Amino acid sequence: MTDRLPQPLRADARDNRERILASARALFAADGLDVPMRKIARRAGVGPATLYRRFPTKQALVTEAFEDQMQVCRAIVDEGLADPDPWHGFRTVIEKLFESHVHDRGFTEAFLTAFPEAIDFDAARASILRSAAELARRAKETGHLRPDFVLDDLILVFMANQGIQAKTTAAAVAASRRFAALAIQAFQVSPERAPLPPPGRLELVVGHR
C-alpha cells in the first residue's frame, strides 16, 4: 500500500514545476492560450521533455496555472452574493471581474473554454456561474436588473471585454471600466445617466486579406 502513495517531488523537480507555472501564467496573461508549449519551456529554462513530463497536455498546464485566478473569481462572486443590496453586488461583480480579466487574457479565455478532461476546473466554473445566476435572480427581485436578463448575457459581455486591445495596460483598464459602465447601464431597467468613466485609447485590429 505504501508503494502506491504519491512521492514528493525532488527539490530540482519542484523548482522546474514552479518555473514552468510562472512562465505559463505570464505568457498566457499577455498573449492568451495560443502560446506554444515550447515557448513556455524556453522561458522557464527547461526542455520540452521536462515540461511534458510535469504537464502532459496544455489543458493540464492551463488548469493548474489558473487555479489561483479561479479562486479570485470565486471570491469576487461570493462578495457580490454577500452584499445586502443585490443590485450593488451584481454591479460590483461586473466591475471587478472586468478589471481582473483585462489584466489576464489567458484566464478569461480559459474560463470561457470547455476542458472536458479538467473535471475540477469545469466544476469550479460551474459553481461560479451558479452563484452568478443566483445573484442575478436577487438583483431582478430588486427591480433594477431587467427581467429578460439571462446568464448568457453576462458571458457575452465577458467575451467582448476579452477583445479589448490597447497599447498600454492603463489604457486597457480604462477601456474596460468604461465598457463595464456601459454594460451595467444596458442591464438596468431604468439606466442611470451618470457620466461614464474616461475612455481608453484602443488599437484597431488589422484584418487579413
| Residues 166, 29: Cα–Cα separation, whole Å | 14
- 197 lies in a domain? no
φ and ψ at residue 48, rounded to 5 degrees: -55, -35
pLDDT digits (tens, 9 = 90+) for 52-77: 999 998 888 988 888 888 899 999 99
Instruction: Spell out the alpha helix ranges (H) of 83-150.
Output: 86-102, 105-111, 119-141
Same domain, 92 and 172: yes
Contact 164, 172 (CB under 8 A): yes
pLDDT digits (tens, 9 = 90+) for 150-185: 999 999 999 999 888 888 889 999 999 999 999 999
Per the structure, the complete domain to which residue 44 belongs is given by 11-57
- 1 lies in a domain? no
The pTM of the full predicted model, rounded to 2 decimals, is 0.80
Kindly indicate the confidence band of residue 205, based on its pLDDT and cuts at 50, 70 and 90: low
User: Residue 30 is part of a domain; what is its CATH number?
Assistant: 1.10.10.60
Same domain, 137 and 177: yes
Spatial CA neighbour of 29 closest among 74, 69, 71, 64:
69
Same domain, 71 and 53: no
Same domain, 165 and 129: yes
Kindly indicate the confidence band of residue 209, based on its pLDDT and cuts at 50, 70 and 90: very low
Q: How far is CA 55 from CA 22, 49, 157, in A?
A: 13, 10, 32
For all residues of the chain together, what is the average pLDDT? 87
Same domain, 147 and 172: yes
- 205 lies in a domain? no
